[in-house]
Amino acid sequence: MRRRQNIWTKIDLATVFIFLLLVFMGWLNIYSSAYSGAGSSLFDLSQRYGKQLLWIMFSLVIAVVVLNIDSKFFVTFSYPIYGFFVLLLFVVLLVGKEINGAKSWFVVGSFAFQPSEFAKFGTALAVSKLISSYNFSFSNWKSGLRVMALVFLPVSLIILQNDLGSALVYMIFIIPMFRAGLSGLILFFVVFFITLFVFSLILNPLTLIVALLALAFIVYLAMKKSWRSLLVGLLVFGGSSLLVWLILLLAGKDFPGLYYIFFRASILSAVVLFFVSQYKRNPQLSLITLVFAFSVLFSFSVDFGFNNVLGHHHRARINNLLGLEFDPLGAGYNVNQSKIAIGSGGFSGKGFLQGTQTKYDFVPEQSTDFIFCTVGEEWGFIGTLVVVTLFLFLIIRIIILAERQRSVFSRIYGYAVASILFFHFAVNIGMTIGLAPVIGIPLPFFSYGGSSLWFFTIMLFVFLRLDINRLDQLH
């Protein structure tokens, strides 16, 4: 009895309060988006709000159960939990049901279960366990490869399910890794290549190569402040371009265009300058030439990957987001209707149950991926500000709790929880207002669905359970 009292007196009540408030507000908006005025019961399981209320009750039971499990259980069984959910990801490929183009669901009667949601929880536990293990260090490349493999395995299986949105969430594990000692240079390169991917779609290929070349020279000058090196680099690039053109001329080929020449000249120049840097023992030049060459190859491969790896609907959504296409009745319909609904709410909103855009199905998926539209239409700017503020408070609170942990495992797991919540929150709201591509991920505690609600509940309350025993764990 004393142990139970300790649990309820030590739990972080601020986090629990925000969780309950978000869940309740989410249910209100699901109810509003599905309400028809027919006076149906709140427990009507034929309606989404009835099902969601049932799942909320189950989630509260799950939270209580998790809080009564010894926190050492999650540390000890991190790898088996991870392995179990990875196994489910494999099994769903064989016997799962395809919904919205993704074969990522187990369906039993009217109940659907998506293992990719819970695999994030398993991965968070496994990554935390590995990073907190004895002698782990990101300065050891073998340790880095092991933790990357833990993340890549579920990602590869989720991609095979054709669920790119869920797979992208796993990128956010770089943040807890960074907190654990991963070089900031790695984080910089991740951001750099994401930016390069976007510019590879927007800019003309020739313009992009010239921009990358100019950036490489600027960075090198900032590091070495050697104008002579700049002149040598320009001469090498010019000579490489001339050499490529002469080879093509001797081969009897017509002039292929500047991009064709500059692309090959860039790679040739990078190779030459890399060997020069090795001879001169100039590590800065070595690094810049390698990054430049890889950047050029990456930008060249973006077009192939974009057109041959991504599905048509993914390409259309990205093109609409970047302004390369405008299709308000096709790929851009959801986002266009979403922005209309949010904008129609004005400053204070139309009022509870008074929304028209969402209630009459002008916005597809208004109770799942686009639940934020209901908030914007019925509660206006004030309501959206409250929701965004609550999410930010929750994420910041989790980070504060993570920083006070004595256990490396608990600290890294706390950062994983905060990072996953942030990614879902930022991308989901971003896609409803046209700032992020529509990739189909739920808004935590808000969107309709049992799998996502239970996953976020388990993930959050496992961390709260670890926090209760923070003074008892040293590793």
User: Do 251 and 169 reside in the same domain of the chain?
Assistant: no
- pLDDT band of residue 399 (cuts 50, 70, 90) is very high
User: Do 220 and 173 reside in the same domain of the chain?
Assistant: no
Assigned domain for 228 exists = yes
Report DSSP letters for 117-154, one per residue. Answer: HHHHHHHHHHHHHHHTSTT--TTSHHHHHHHHHHHHHH
User: Do 16 and 116 reside in the same domain of the chain?
Assistant: yes
SS3 450: helix
Please say if the pLDDT value at position 430 is more than 90: no
Assigned domain for 249 exists = yes
Structural element, H or E, at residue 423: helix 408-432
Q: Quote the DSSP letter at residue 37.
A: S
Assigned domain for 46 exists = yes
Assigned domain for 377 exists = yes
Helix, strand, coil percent values for the chain (each to nearest 5): 70, 5, 25
Indicate if the alpha-carbon torsion angle 239, 240, 244, 247 is positive or negative. positive
Please say if the pLDDT value at position 120 is more than 70: yes
Burial class (CB in 10 A: 0-12, 13-18, 19+), 89: buried
Q: Looking at 292, 309, 326, which one is the last position of a domain?
A: 309
Assigned domain for 234 exists = yes
What pLDDT score was predicted for residue 21?
95
User: Do 275 and 209 reside in the same domain of the chain?
Assistant: yes
Give the separation between CA 234 and CA 238, rounded to whole angstroms. Answer: 6
User: Do 6 and 146 reside in the same domain of the chain?
Assistant: yes
Assigned domain for 331 exists = no
Mean pLDDT is lowest, of 51-60, 334-343, 355-364, for 355-364
- pLDDT band of residue 310 (cuts 50, 70, 90) is low
Assigned domain for 354 exists = no
User: Nearest Cα to 441, choosing from 457, 459, 422?
Assistant: 422
User: Do 83 and 125 reside in the same domain of the chain?
Assistant: yes
Site of tokens 């908006």? 29
Q: Average pLDDT for residues 12-25, to the nearest whole number?
A: 94
Please say if the pLDDT value at position 256 is more than 60: no
Q: Looking at 309, 342, 376, which one is the last position of a domain?
A: 309
What pLDDT score was predicted for residue 17?
94
- Whether residue 274 contacts residue 286, with contact meaning beta carbons closer than 8 Å, is answered with yes
Q: Average pLDDT for residues 75-95, to the nearest whole number?
A: 92
User: Nearest Cα to 243, choosing from 277, 269, 216?
Assistant: 269
Please say if the pLDDT value at position 132 is more than 60: yes
User: Do 63 and 146 reside in the same domain of the chain?
Assistant: yes
- pLDDT band of residue 99 (cuts 50, 70, 90) is confident
The set of long-range contacts for 178-184, using a CB threshold of 8 Å and a minimum separation of 24, is 179/411, 179/412, 179/415, 180/131, 180/138, 180/408, 180/412, 181/137, 181/138, 181/139, 182/138, 182/144, 183/138
What pLDDT score was predicted for residue 159?
85
Q: How confident is the model over 214-244, as pLDDT tens digits?
A: 777 777 766 665 556 656 666 666 666 566 5
User: Do 44 and 160 reside in the same domain of the chain?
Assistant: yes
Q: Quote the DSSP letter at residue 166.
A: H
Please say if the pLDDT value at position 194 is more than 70: yes
Structural element, H or E, at residue 99: strand 97-99
User: Do 274 and 173 reside in the same domain of the chain?
Assistant: no
Please say if the pLDDT value at position 282 is more than 60: yes
- pLDDT band of residue 320 (cuts 50, 70, 90) is low
For the chain, what is the total number of helices (H) and then of strands (E)?
Answer: 19, 3
Residue 419 belongs to domain spanning? 2-182+362-472
User: Do 144 and 222 reside in the same domain of the chain?
Assistant: no
What pLDDT score was predicted for residue 31?
86
Please say if the pLDDT value at position 363 is more than 80: no
Please say if the pLDDT value at position 403 is more than 60: yes
Mean pLDDT is lowest, of 90-99, 147-156, 294-303, for 294-303
User: Do 202 and 176 reside in the same domain of the chain?
Assistant: no
Comparing 253 with 115, the larger pLDDT belongs to 115
pTM of the predicted model as reported, rounded to 2 decimal places: 0.83
Token pair for residue 305? 């990957």
- Whether residue 370 contacts residue 432, with contact meaning beta carbons closer than 8 Å, is answered with yes
Query: Which range in 121-130, 166-175, 308-317 is most confidently predicted, on average pLDDT?
Result: 121-130
Please say if the pLDDT value at position 331 is more than 70: no
Assigned domain for 319 exists = no
Q: Looking at 276, 309, 342, which one is the last position of a domain?
A: 309
Please say if the pLDDT value at position 285 is more than 90: no
**Count: domains in the chain:** 2
Please say if the pLDDT value at position 280 is more than 80: no
| DSSP bridge partners of 99 | 102
Q: Average pLDDT for residues 118-143, to the nearest whole number?
A: 89
User: Do 163 and 235 reside in the same domain of the chain?
Assistant: no
Token pair for residue 105? 């669901």
